[in-house]
Structure 1
Amino acid sequence: MSINPPSRIADYPIEDFFTARWSPRAFAMDTVSEQELLGLLEAARWAPSGLNAQPWRFVYSFRGEAAFDAILASLWEGNQVWAKNASALIAVVAKTTLIPPGADKEVPNPSYSFDAGAAWGYFAVQAHLRGWSSHAMGGFDAARAAEAIGMPDGYAMQAVVAIGKKGSVDALPEVLRKREVPSPRRQITDSAFRGKFAV
């Protein structure tokens, strides 16, 4: 029996956890331990990266901490209303340069965002497999977020991730309740093309 709604059925056979994972906004008031969170970030650590530069960095804080509130305040208001209930918030940052093998100085890393995205994907899957829900947000003030976490020069904000246990939709503002469902995806043939790009 499928564990997914009709909008989450894969075109080709894959492991169920890929379609079962989604990004809710309703979080219960559970707490996540630092040990557990570091276990999820351990999965992100093993993501692939160009020249093994591992440009990703994660700055995390737990609900109730001043650092959590500072990261929360950098989010767009529409995200703050639900992210405030997350167990933790994680700022995903990427180093924009690297030292190539055999070199002795930093050069621009053209794949820093791509690689940081791979690390987030590993984290998201591991969180799901451990029974946690995660939701990555691009809706934030980058300058304010960078200030909140003390981000140094040479790094770029990528996303803010909320993590927690999935909660009741009733905890959300009414305008968000209808959106609290797993989202569909385009058909694979709308995204993957053989030989040449097709519009």
Structure 2
Amino acid sequence: MTLITDLTSRNADTDAPLISALVERWSPRAFDPTAEIGADTLRTVLEAARWAPSANNVQPWRFIVARRGTPEFTTVHDALLGFNQAWADSAAVLIVNVAEVADEQGTPRRWALYDLGQAVAHLSVQAQHEGLHTHQMGGFDVARLSEAFGLGDGLEPVSITALGSLGDVDALPEQLRQREVAPRSRKPLGELVITAA
């Protein structure tokens, strides 16, 4: 069994000092299929998302929270596509991140996707602070999840967050195992900043 025990090897090599939760955050695929997340910890992670900023304080985010072993978890897992299905079943929780892209009158909420992204980022950083790990997924059947959970007009599943504790790297398919231990990288800051005063 191979566990990534030297987590410092996964730390971001930053060009400026960051808080530890950001330096240590990464997106594993090897989750412990026996680990559970207590109700209080899960509530804390979701509370961090609740307090994210949003345009006009509309808070256009909703979350479908599915614990491993429940019918809801199976529904979410079965809607995943490609390699996501090969590993996400080991996560303790799958969270469907939903944006309220239009109000009750059908008026588009232009900032909803951005605001949801901020809420999920807050959730991810809090999870890291709690000793948990997250992995965001975009490969899933949107229509299937919308129908399964009765999401009406204006509500759009955008991503799914796998949440849990680190597990056995050897349990992953070979291709994913290589990606799990590959060096982390980011584009240089100079490529991302269009202009700086």
- Give the alignment's TM-score, normalised by structure 1: 0.88
Please name the residue that 2:160 is paired with: 160
Whole-angstrom distance in 2 between the partners of 1:185 and 1:23: 14
Is 1:69 aligned to 2:74, yes or no? yes
Contact 1:71 1:149 in 2 (8 A): no
The correspondence of residues 131-150 of structure 1 with structure 2, limited to 5 A, is 131-150=131-150
Is 1:8 aligned to 2:12, yes or no? yes
CA deviation profile, 1:156-192 (whole Å, cap 9, x unmatched):
1110111110111011111210100363111111101
- Give the alignment's TM-score, normalised by structure 2: 0.89
Aligned identity (percent) is 40
Following TM superposition, by how much is the alpha carbon of 1:42 offset from its aligned partner in structure 2, in angstroms? 0.1
The correspondence of residues 120-199 of structure 1 with structure 2, limited to 5 A, is 120-181=120-181, 183-194=184-195
Please name the residue that 2:28 is paired with: 24
State which of 55, 64, 81 in structure 1 corresponds to 2:60.
55
Whole-angstrom distance in 1 between the partners of 2:180 and 2:19: 23
Whole-angstrom distance in 2 between the partners of 1:189 and 1:124: 25
Letter in 1 for 2:195: R
Any idea what SS the aligned residue of 2:37 has?
coil
Choose 147-156 or 71-80, whichever is displaced more: 147-156
CA deviation profile, 1:89-130 (whole Å, cap 9, x unmatched):
11000111248xxxxx56211010000000000000000000
Please name the residue that 1:85 is paired with: 90
Letter in 2 for 1:187: P
Choose 29-38 or 166-175, whichever is displaced more: 29-38
Following TM superposition, by how much is the alpha carbon of 1:17 offset from its aligned partner in structure 2, in angstroms? 2.1
Residues paired across the two proteins, number:
189
Whole-angstrom distance in 2 between the partners of 1:68 and 1:6: 28
Choose 116-125 or 12-21, whichever is displaced more: 12-21
Letter in 2 for 1:141: D
Contact 1:94 1:116 in 2 (8 A): yes
Gaps of 5+ in 2: 1-6
- The alpha-carbon distance between structure 1 residues 167 and 51, as it changes in their structure 2 partners (threshold 3 A), is same
CA deviation profile, 1:140-165 (whole Å, cap 9, x unmatched):
11111212322121111110111110
Letter in 1 for 2:180: E
Whole-angstrom distance in 2 between the partners of 1:4 and 1:144: 39
Any idea what SS the aligned residue of 1:159 has?
strand
Choose 6-15 or 107-116, whichever is displaced more: 6-15
